[in-house]
Structure 1
């Protein structure tokens, strides 16, 4: 898709850029629903904070990929799926363990917010596909700043929305919400590997 004249025409189109940005934000959207469900009725301010962290990182990663692409680096394309899978698997197993442990501790107060580094690590894991896209964009005549900004804004919007959806799902799931969130992270990691080899 990203090589040759057809790819250039495709990416030069504004609507195509918006579709690209929306596609890049879907992983973050799915993760944010689980994050919102795992918290105890997160406030809109927390949803905005999460959206800002994810949006900024998602905007930066295609720029990093673009720079690497300009340097003709192939490492990102060869290893990004394994790095993303490893990070998501680690975070997913961690959430599963905390969810199961929480089920045996009724006196544990529900969390009100996620730590910055946990959110940042999750955001990096879900944005490595955007870095790979940035590598491809380096070989096309596109405005990388506008594309990265569009991806970041789309991710900010979808992550904030996902957190608020999770706010309403969380009370229905109770303590199972964190387990579900962990399973979602693991599933996204597996999907990244599957898409790379069979997509």
Structure 2
């Protein structure tokens, strides 16, 4: 393989990984507005990175004949999950601190959170399977970039949370709502 073709493929995959990872950054920014410890931020980023690895892998393995159907479904499911998470954050911000949130970025809530931001990488994986992209390079690039971007979003959200105080969780929920609506109703 020619070195320029190889570098071109790496740059293309990085741009795709960055675009997909911006979902994780945006949602991480909103979720970072909840009081999270650094250990939680680390595990959230790792989980999102892993989801961004196995979702495109699953997409690549399933094949191109399903890409049109599952591409739209994945977008709608991801948008619905983000709407649900955003509403849940807004509602829980008006409750006493002693009451538990329905979904938090721990345990099953972390699974839902990571799934919501990685569903689009499934449909991209389907598309990349058509073109015969290098599987290992794709999943590593997608996983690492989304993990780093989610960490940046979570840490930035955590910093902003200190400035906004009690309104930060409402703002975080609104960010998730807007992002969910954007996925459900693209312009």
Aligned 8 A contact 2:105 2:113 in 1: no
Three-state SS of the structure 2 residue aligned to 1:139 is helix
Query: Is residue 19 of structure 1 aligned with residue 15 of structure 2?
Result: yes
Aligned counterpart, 1:5 = none
Q: Is the 8 A contact 1:11 1:17 kept in 2?
A: no
Question: Any gaps of 5 or more consecutive residues in structure 1?
Answer: 1-8
1:193, distance to aligned residue in structure 2 (A): 2.4
Give 1:78 deviation, angstroms: 3.2
- Residue 97 of structure 1 and its aligned partner are, at CA, apart by 0.6
Aligned to 1:60: 54
Contact 2:71 2:120 survives alignment (8 Å) = no
If the length of structure 2 is used for normalisation, what is the TM-score? 0.86
What number of residue pairs does the alignment pair up? Answer: 180
Change over 3 Å in CA distance of 1:110–1:33 after alignment to 2: farther
**Which of 157, 171, 179 is equivalent to 1:166?**
157
Partner of 1:78: 72
- In the superposition, the TM-score normalised over structure 1's length comes to 0.81
Mapping of 1:172-191 within 5 angstroms?
Answer: 172-191=163-182
Tell me if structure 2 keeps the 8 A contact 1:12–1:142.
no
Q: Is 1:88 the equivalent of 2:79?
A: no
* 2:139 corresponding residue in structure 1: 148
RMSD: 2.4
Please say if residues 29 and 156 of structure 2, whose CA atoms lie closer than 8 Å, have aligned partners that are also in contact. yes
In the alignment, structure 2 segments of 5+ residues that lack a partner are: none
